Amino acid sequence: MDILFIADPLESFKIHKDSTFAMMREAQRRGWRVWACDTPDLLWERGGVVQAVVRAITLTGDAQHWFAQTACTPRPLHDFGAVVMRKDPPFDSEFFYATHLLEQAEREGARVFNQPRALRDHPEKLAILEFPQFIGPTLVTRDADAVRRFHAEHRDIILKPLDGMGGMGIFRVRDDGMNLGSIIETLNQGGARSLMVQRFLPEISAGDKRVLVIGGKPVPYCLARIPQGNEVRGNLAAGGKGVAQPLSDADRAIAQALGPVLAERGLLLVGLDVIGDRLTEINVTSPTCFQEITDQTGFDVAAMFVDALEQALGAAPV
């Protein structure tokens, strides 16, 4: 059976830590034929079906030349046993349009994971608003005065754009309010853009935990991304140190509460971000940390993912 990964260009992969690569490797090990494309490769024309120019690849085991391309051809998406959407953020207009093409492909018989409508319905910053019992004090607004009132109440706050990734555009403003006005102007662009403001959680010193939920069930280990030096961000892309650890009781409670709900909506893989016992984000586009958790604990996250994928399909590859 063929499996298509829609992802960033293969040449950009850092395979020692890339979760999509880990998925590909496990799928190939089980006998799946692996294909890849990027969102610009998607195409639909009246009278036809959604298709893409796709690359048939074989993983070589060579760290320098990690894949061999055996074919490059247009194919309908419904030809594949599974389509795994792994395009990295930002969730911009082109990502949005891609989800509509993928939803059309679903109507034509394609099996897409995570489901396109679910990707659209769960923007990664805003999805937490549905679960207020698990989050800390949070404000979403364009209004600069509302941000100032929030700061006056909570004194130590985090501000971030709604479309950022990897810690981009995150600011901390302490009790003295230093540069608050300038930061608001930078993020909301004179009231033109919404931003999120949250009370600073001092538990970040122990790490911003990535809790993976696969098929509605939590992976038993998370990756605590610990800020280094004077950095407030724990994101690995911002220099955070990743330390795998067993789920805490709070981590597990959040994952067990949200997991079945999100899985029922078509989200096979979710990455919950937790600081202390507070949920801060719900990542659905291309959650990562598979390899870091596996390397440090021995728990095979990619195997759990492909198990869940095969269960969702109702069959192993043939």
Tens digits of residue pLDDT in 236-261 = 776 889 999 999 999 999 999 999 99
318, pLDDT greater than 70: no
Q: In the numeric block, which tokens belong to residue 30?
A: 């089980």
Q: What is the DSSP letter of 235?
A: -
Q: What is the pLDDT of residue 315?
A: 62
Mean pLDDT throughout 287-311? 98
3-state secondary structure (DSSP) of residue 28: helix
Q: Using pLDDT thresholds of 50, 70 and 90, give the confidence band for residue 317.
A: low
Please, what is the average pLDDT of the chain? 95
Q: Which domains does the chain have, with CATH numbers?
A: 2-114 (3.40.50.20), 137-200 (3.30.1490.20), 203-307 (3.30.470.20)
Mean pLDDT throughout 224-232? 85
168, pLDDT greater than 90: no
50, pLDDT greater than 60: yes
Q: In the numeric block, which tokens belong to residue 257?
A: 């509460």
CA distance 276 to 206: 8
Q: What is the pLDDT of residue 316?
A: 52
Taken in order 96, 99, 103, 104, the sign of the CA dihedral is positive
CA distance 136 to 122: 19
71, pLDDT greater than 90: no
CA distance 52 to 70: 16
pLDDT above 70 as % of the chain: 98
Total Cβ atoms within 10 A of residue 45: 8
Tens digits of residue pLDDT in 99-149 = 999 999 999 999 999 999 999 999 999 999 999 999 999 999 999 999 999
Q: Which residues are catalytic?
A: 125, 160, 210, 225, 233, 273, 281, 283
